[in-house]
Structures are given as structure tokens and as C-alpha cells.
């Protein structure tokens, strides 16, 4: 359904990306931001799903500055290897590359990110230009950046049983950003509950979060 292509960042760095387009005229554009596992099968599947929903979707390969076309599965060894990429993340570089993906699409444009990408989606909503809305799935560093205020409508999804994001962090995000963001907690969900290729996939939570996200995008991405 989709295609691989190249984006060029403002510092002239070229990175790979995956793009999926709807069969008809797009309702808007969605930038899909990866987890630590790269633009792998799951992230490409999210882009394809967004295209089926009527949006043009682009997923920039945000680890290309370190390793070209890094992709990973979800075995313990693969997870340990993927974590090395975020031991000392260059958020500014990843945001520059995210901006290149935003600029590739025609307005209205929203951003949707998972795990590391959930944090980037939040930072993009606060700092980048050209967005109409942001969807953040279990962004672990949102709490550390919760003093920043999104410039666009933002929705967040967290799992109550997430071992890597304590509920105290979610409560802090609610306290600081609850007035200007929609924040949902899913009681039976762990980290990565959206991904149907992981052991932590929780179908009821994933389905509800997706329904909420699609309704949210429809509301905030008017042409």
C-alpha cells in the first residue's frame, strides 16, 4: 500500500520515510512517529491504517542519523538493542526530522506517536509549526516536559498497568496539562497496548483509544 522515500531536514540531512496514501482525496495528513523499534512493520501498518481512514500518512525514520533504516522486533534481545538509541536522545534532531515530515504533507496535518513517539508528538505540539492536532500514546517523557503547553489540540493515552510510566507521572501530566489536553487512562493496559505484535497488546483498550483518536482527529482537522 505504501512506499519508501526520502525527506530532507532543515540542516540538509536526508532521512528515510514511509508514506501511505488513501485511494481518494485525503482528509488531511498524519505524521506517524515510531517507537524505539524504528519504522518497522507495525509503524508501517499504522500508516496503512491511517490511509484506510482517509489520511495521507508519513512515518519519518528518526534513527537514520545513527543507523540507516533501523528496524526491530520485540524479543527481549531486540528490545535491549533498541533501547540503546534512546540512552541519550537528541530530541532537537528528531524534532527537526519530524518537521520535515510535517512539511511534506498538505494541511490540515496532525501527528500521532507511540512510546518515544508519544513524547515527540507532545513536543511537536508544543514547539513545531504546521500542526492542527496531536495524538500521544504512552509517551514516557511527557511528564518531564509537562510545563510546556501545546499550541494545538492534544489527546493522550496511558495504560494504568504500564511498568515504565508510573501513575504518579500521569497524575502530574493531568495536573499540569489536564485543562488543555484530553488525557485517558486505560485500567487494564500495559505499555505498548496498541501494538498487536507485542505481548502487551490489549485489544479492548487499543480499540477504544483508536476510536477516541479518530473522533478527535475528525473534530480538530477541519479543512
Positions marked active-site: 115, 162, 191
* DSSP tag of 70: -
- CA 166/CA 118 separation, integer angstroms: 15
Strand ranges inside 115-212, DSSP E? 133-137, 153-159, 181-186
Strand ranges inside the chain, DSSP E? 3-8, 14-20, 29-33, 56-60, 109-114, 133-137, 153-159, 181-186
7, 9, 13: which is closest to 39 by C-alpha? Answer: 7
Place of cell 514547539: 127
Strand ranges inside 104-212, DSSP E? 109-114, 133-137, 153-159, 181-186
Q: Which residues contact 222 (CB under 8 A, 6 or more apart)?
A: 108
Contact, 55 vs 26, CB < 8 A?
Answer: yes
Place of cell 508510573: 166
Grid cell of 67 as nine digits: 543507523
Amino acid at each position: 500500500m505504501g512506499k519508501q522515500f526520502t525527506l530532507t531536514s532543515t540542516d540538509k540531512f536526508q532521512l528515510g520515510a514511509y508514506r501511505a496514501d488513501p485511494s481518494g482525496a485525503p482528509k488531511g495528513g498524519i505524521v506517524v512517529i515510531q517507537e524505539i523499534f524504528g519504522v518497522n512493520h507495525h509503524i508501517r501498518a499504522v500508516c496503512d491504517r491511517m490511509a484506510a481512514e482517509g489520511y495521507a500518512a508519513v512515518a519519518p525514520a528518526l534513527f537514520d542519523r545513527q543507523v540507516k533504516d533501523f528496524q526491530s522486533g520485540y524479543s527481549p534481545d531486540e528490545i535491549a538493542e533498541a533501547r540503546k538509541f534512546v540512552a541519550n536522545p537528541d530530541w532537537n534532531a528528531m524534532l527537526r526530522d519530524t518537521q520535515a515530515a510535517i512539511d511534506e504533507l498538505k494541511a490540515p496535518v496532525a501527528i500521532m506517536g507511540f512510546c518515544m513517539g508519544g513524547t515527540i508528538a507532545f513536543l511537536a505540539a508544543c514547539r513545531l509549526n504546521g500542526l492542527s492536532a496531536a495524538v500521544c500514546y504512552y509517551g514516557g517523557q511527557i511528564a518531564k516536559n509537562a510545563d510546556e503547553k501545546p499550541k494545538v489540540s492534544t489527546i493522550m493515552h496511558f495504560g494504568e498497568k504500564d511498568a515504565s510510566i508510573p501513575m504518579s507521572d500521569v497524575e502530574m501530566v493531568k495536573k499540569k496539562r489536564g485543562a488543555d489536553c484530553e488525557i485517558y487512562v486505560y485500567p487494564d493496559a500495559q505499555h505498548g497496548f496498541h501494538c498487536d505484535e507485542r505481548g502487551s497488546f490489549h485489544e479492548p483498550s487499543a480499540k477504544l483509544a483508536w476510536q477516541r483518536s479518530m473522533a478527535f482527529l475528525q473534530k480538530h482537522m477541519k479543512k
